[in-house]
Amino acid sequence: MSVQEIFDAVLDLDEDVVVELVKKEIATGTDVSKILNEGLIGAMDEVGKRFTAGDLFVPEMLMAAQSMKAGLDELKPHLAQGATATRGAVIIGTVKGDLHDIGKNLVSMMMEGAGFEVFDVGMDVDTEKFLATAKEKNASIIAMSALLTTTMPAMEEVVKAIREQGLNLKTMIGGAPVTPAFAQKIGADAYCEDAPAAVEAARKFIA
Ligand code: B12
């Protein structure tokens, strides 16, 4: 039994085993930061690499993220203040008028797995809610998803409001119809085509 086994269980997409192993490691007295960083976050890093290399696909990535999240839920009560690998707060949501949330959920879970403090505001989220939550949580990043061409303009509205209010917030956008050219046009700080790319971009923002 070791942290390596947790890493392996996440890659085996075995949620029950991940939970069981995390519980055992906590009971054994293993450093919770080690379980988090080497077991759970390490495994999600590997999942991201395999996805980018084309060795693993969206369903597997979702299952790995769910396994990681289940392990994280076990770990959370044991993580003393400051002992987490938290990199910074991210507000994530699907924009106003849009009810697609599968990709957004995946990005949210991968970011959480990478050590970001993620506040998922759900779908059909308007500009006011994005900004109010970002202020309340003292966030560094607003991440927006859109799957409909008709809801993409809502992203521009958020970017514009951030600029107008002079807020120190990075924006990242994604979703099937979104392109790098669109991101540039509306002044978003990053476009990412998938969840691992979103993690990489967020890491650059919060070094
Ligand atoms: C599942 C689905 C639905 C489900 C959504 C369920 C849910 N809980 O999400 C339901 C049935 C509800 C639905 C409804 C509709 N849908 Co629909 N739907 C899809 C479908 C088949 C798959 C989307 C999906 O989940 N993909 C899998 C995920 C993992 O991929 P992804 O979302 O692209 O996310 C990845 C990346 O894009 C990126 N990413 C995503 N978000 C973000 C955010 C950030 C910040 C970053 C960095 C990256 C990032 O990372 C993700 C993971 O790698 C697509 C077709 C398609 N191939 O895209 C149509 C599609 C998006 N739907 C479409 C339409 C038209 C509709 C409806 C209008 C249909 C209708 N007439 O009622 C409604 C709209 C409802 C609404 N108001 O939103 C069209 C959109 C056309 C367009 N150009 O606008 C599509 C393209 C189908 C089509 N070919 O016509 N839909």
110 has pLDDT over 90: no
Alpha carbon 16 to chain centroid distance? 22
- The predicted structure's pLDDT at residue 126: 98
Query: Is residue 198 lining ligand 1, measured as CB closer than 6 Å?
Result: yes
85 alpha carbon – ligand 1 mean position (Å): 32
Substitution candidate for ligand 1 out of 63, 100, 204 with most atoms within 8 A of CB:
100
- The predicted structure's pLDDT at residue 85: 47
Q: What is the largest CA-CA distance in the chain?
A: 54
Query: Is the distance from CB of 144 to CB of 94 less than 8 angstroms?
Result: yes
Domain with 11 in it: 3-78
203 has pLDDT over 80: yes
User: What does residue 205 show for φ and ψ, rounded to 5 degrees?
Assistant: -70, -40
153 alpha carbon – ligand 1 mean position (Å): 16
Neighbours of 53 (CB within 10 A): 8
Query: What would the mean pLDDT of 58-63 be, rounded to a whole number?
Result: 92
Q: Are residues 195 and 102 in the same domain?
A: yes
Query: Is residue 149 lining ligand 1, measured as CB closer than 6 Å?
Result: yes
Q: Are residues 153 and 65 in the same domain?
A: no
Query: Is residue 101 lining ligand 1, measured as CB closer than 6 Å?
Result: yes
Beta carbons within 8 Å of 77's beta carbon, 6+ residues apart: none
Which residue has a Cα nearest atom 9 of ligand 1?
Answer: 100
User: Which tokens go with 127?
Assistant: 């500009």
Q: Are residues 186 and 141 in the same domain?
A: yes
End residue of a domain, out of 25, 50, 78: 78
Atom of ligand 1 nearest to the CA of 201: 47
Dist. CA 43–CA 113, nearest whole Å: 9
Of residues 75 and 30, the one with the higher pLDDT is 30
Query: What would the mean pLDDT of 93-103 be, rounded to a whole number?
Result: 95
The predicted model scores a pTM of 0.86
Query: Is the distance from CB of 15 to CB of 67 less than 8 angstroms?
Result: yes
Comparing CA positions, the residue from 116, 109, 3 lying closest to residue 65 is 109
Dist. CA 133–CA 91, nearest whole Å: 7
Q: Are residues 144 and 199 in the same domain?
A: yes
- The predicted structure's pLDDT at residue 87: 61
User: Which tokens go with 112?
Assistant: 């959480």
Query: Is residue 120 lining ligand 1, measured as CB closer than 6 Å?
Result: no
Query: Is residue 189 lining ligand 1, measured as CB closer than 6 Å?
Result: no
Which residue has a Cα nearest atom 4 of ligand 1?
Answer: 100
Kindly compute the dihedral angle of the four CA atoms of residues 200, 202, 204, 206, in this order, to the nearest 10 degrees: -140
pLDDT tens, 119-131?
999 999 999 999 9
pLDDT band, very low/low/confident/very high, at 84 (cuts 50, 70, 90): very low
- The predicted structure's pLDDT at residue 86: 55
180 alpha carbon – ligand 1 mean position (Å): 18
CATH number for the domain including 124?
A: 3.40.50.280
Q: Are residues 47 and 117 in the same domain?
A: no
pLDDT tens, 130-166?
999 999 999 999 999 999 999 999 999 999 999 999 9
- The predicted structure's pLDDT at residue 83: 41
Comparing CA positions, the residue from 165, 152, 155 lying closest to residue 187 is 155
**For residue 149, what are the CA distances in angstroms to 58, 73, 86, 95?**
22, 35, 34, 11
pLDDT band, very low/low/confident/very high, at 28 (cuts 50, 70, 90): very high
Which residue has a Cα nearest atom 6 of ligand 1?
Answer: 100
